[in-house]
Amino acid sequence: MRTLDTPATNCPACGKMLDACTNLQDAELPEPGDVSICLGCASLLIFTAPPQFRLATPEEAQELANHPQVAQVIKAVLGGKAKQ
Ligand SMILES: [Zn+2]
């Protein structure tokens, strides 16, 4: 797992400035089609031309929510916010 600094972009859902991403699988930079999760609102984001991304469609979000690692990160983000 490695955190990489990326040029700042804003979450299309909550507007949070995102200027880094952590790759859970390897240390590579994100590629188009890779999935990201906003640390502000836990929205599922799909990289288009990294670091640019778009919101996942409802169909994509439903499919991704079944992925154990994605579900775990969403839970961690939402859990972290609940403690604030
Ligand atoms: Zn967000």
Tokens standing for 79?
A: 């859990």
What mean pLDDT is predicted for residues 9-28?
A: 87
Instruction: Find the CATH number of the domain harbouring 55.
Output: 2.20.28.160
Neighbouring residues of 28: CB distance < 8 A, sequence distance ≥ 6:
none
As for how many domains the chain has, the answer is 1
**Closest Cα to residue 25, out of 9, 46, 51, 4?**
4
14 CA → ligand 1 middle, Å? 4
- Whether the predicted pLDDT of 84 surpasses 70: no
Tens digits of residue pLDDT in 25-55: 776 778 899 999 999 999 999 999 988 899 9
Domain that holds residue 33: 2-82
Higher-confidence residue: 60 or 29? 60
What pLDDT sits at residue 29? 79
Q: Rounded CA gap, 1 and 54, in Å?
A: 23
Within 10 angstroms of residue 16's Cβ, the number of other Cβ atoms is: 13
37 CA → ligand 1 middle, Å? 8
28 CA → ligand 1 middle, Å? 23
Q: Give the pTM.
A: 0.84
47 CA → ligand 1 middle, Å? 14
